[in-house]
Chains A and B, each alone.
Chain A
């Protein structure tokens, strides 16, 4: 047992070094900074320990609260939509047909494009004059063209569309993997019993797919809570602050305004939001992967 302890530790050690240095230390550093007031551009104010003051300020900061709501709305819409769309794609892609390999590759295209590039692409597509969306909806009638990125409500939807496009295929991939573990015999037996496609979906596929669906939802939720690139490229938080998600607000505070303490506070809050939601999912998921291998 002693020996096992040692070997186990040796094997984990290299990963631990990287993780400690480049993840854990920075996280604790962020947490520490969130307890200070530190404004880079006003160095004479010094680094003052303020305890939980930044957290209290955050609760009374209307911009931060609106931003939290925007973020939660973003998560609440995109994560389920992506999982549903992913489910649909996975169901179709699970059938065997000629050209399936090609379609599977096509579906992965959005996922393979760097987010910075796809954000620029969507910004171009949503342009109010030369964008594809308007052309598709209104053709040559340019006087009808709308400006999705200029209207507070549409802008958030535009960001959501870009996110759904980019990441649904990732959800599809996970769900597809889950689908392939469902034995064909179940369906065969069901169709012999005269079950319709819908009944098969409801009574066989969905229940057996629950872990995969939850896993996809977990990954998408964590990722959506931290949405940044899309806002950074497409809207810079506007118009009327309608797309100012928490992570972007935190970035502005830390990197642009030099309010290190307050910016770190926002990051810590985003982290705990993600942690809470994931614990919830893991509970639902049953945390199978964490079980020790049977011997």
Chain B
């Protein structure tokens, strides 16, 4: 009797242990939770015995970063798979937090993805993440207003300012503003400012010499343009406190001629429930400075595997499933996010539901990642402080602020020269 009970107990407990292996997935709450719920159910159905346990963090990139790094720095084995913003792989790789995925994710497979996010996921020759969907800066404009006054979408920033001024002068609508973007002191400010500086031939820092480059004339000129022409002439000063939602709300309420945002804005601007400009919205690549090339900042999210995970092989099964063509298609169709796999931009179902992807494809291909470095966050904070100080104060001394910022960046970059890297 006792032995029967014992055997039963052992069998039962074994089956209990082996029946379900948990994979812990740290994610944010999606705007389209159903898509993710279904994807995870599909994975569990396909892999009996595996169970995905989700932990939910804030969707703000900055806050999510702080949560994930808290787990990683404490070597938490309870996290197997996590989302990474496109700016983190270098940091996570250098810190020894993210698992190199080369043995799972060979070069041949990587070629099926857009090259920009793959580049962002690569650090010192190894790959640390698999792109799920991508983002890139876009110019939105009021088709109806530009047509009424005989303009076509601007190719250069000065042209954009001139058109906006002309429309504002002729429309005589005191509630209308020329341009709405994201100029609050936060990560999005870097995305916006980078598009001006790089399209003027400048750079944020010099990656080979490890030196800040904000004090160079191209950068200073671009920053000054934003302060004096964009904010000084065609935007109202509120943009200095805007993140994506506020800036889009202004455009969707029909109060802005031009708007810089990510691809998601298209759907909202054309949703009668949330927009008053349905059907009046046009989309184009961002302008450049005369003689420069249009630059779109790359955004988007990747899946990574923790180096402290006790079951990396199972974790990979999940990552590979979530980034498979079928799943990316599902995410593109039902969550409206731009897929990271090239082939989906030729997929008839995707193009039927999301015709805008076709015209956006060029931008996605040429989107520029923010510089990859393990000290990205401190550099970003220095730059945010500089950009915000330079554009928020009308009489800021941009040159001296830029020199200080470059010097502070040098000091952070100097850390990379110290010690011997493994």
Contacts and interface: CB of A to CB of B under 8 A. Distances in A.
Direct A–B contact present (CB less than 8 angstroms): yes
B370 interface: no
Contacts of A128: 236-238, 241
B381 interface: yes
Contacts of B237: 128, 146-147, 150-151
A239 B388 contact: yes
Contacts of B70: 255
B6 interface: no
Interface in A37-64: 39-46, 63
Interface string A254-267: 01111100000000
A2 B91 CA distance: 58
Given A150-B240, A252-B381, A256-B65, A241 B174 contact: no
Interface string B67-87: 001100100000000000000
A256 B66 contact: yes
Interface stretch (A99-107, A209-217, A230-238, A268-276): A230-238
A93 B249 CA distance: 42
A203 B104 CA distance: 81
B378 A259 contact: yes
Contact of A237 (B66, B94, B185, B420): B185
A30 interface: no
A241 B389 contact: yes
A257 B381 contact: yes
Chain A interface size band reads 35 or more
B375 A152 contact: no
A256 B69 CA distance: 8
A28 interface: no
Q: Please classify the interface of chain A as helix (H, G, I), strand (E, B), loop, or mixed, using the class held by over half of its residues.
A: loop
A150 B238 CA distance: 6
A42 B419 CA distance: 10
A127 interface: yes
B186 interface: yes
Contacts of B415: 39, 42, 45
Contacts of A39: 415
Given A238-B184, A258-B73, A129 B388 contact: no
A152 B420 contact: no
B196 to A, nearest CB: 18
A130 B381 CA distance: 29
Contact of B419 (A45, A129, A145, A149): A45
A206 B146 CA distance: 66
A41 B95 contact: yes
Contacts of A21: none
Given A150-B238, A150-B392, A258-B377, A41 B91 contact: yes
Interface string B318-357: 0000000000000000000000000000000000000000
A43 B238 contact: no
B15 to A, nearest CB: 38
A42 to B, nearest CB: 6
A142 B175 contact: yes
Contacts of B311: none
A130 B184 CA distance: 17
Interface in A217-238: 235-238
A128 B422 CA distance: 51
B175 A42 contact: no
Nearest to A40: B73
A259 B396 CA distance: 29
Contacts of A235: 184-185, 241
Given A239-B392, A256-B65, A44 B421 contact: yes
B62 A256 contact: yes
Interface in A133-159: 141-143, 145-147, 149-152, 155
B250 interface: yes
A240 B381 contact: no
| Nearest 9 pairs of A and B residues by beta carbon | A238-B185, A128-B238, A150-B240, A147-B238, A149-B241, A150-B241, A239-B392, A143-B174, A240-B389
Given A40-B69, A42-B375, 4 more contacts: A43-B95, A45-B418, A152-B393, A256-B66
20 contacts: A41-B375, A42-B94, A42-B419, A44-B421, A44-B422, A129-B246, A145-B238, A147-B240, A235-B184, A235-B185, A238-B184, A238-B392, A239-B392, A241-B388, A241-B389, A255-B69, A256-B62, A256-B66, A258-B73, A259-B378
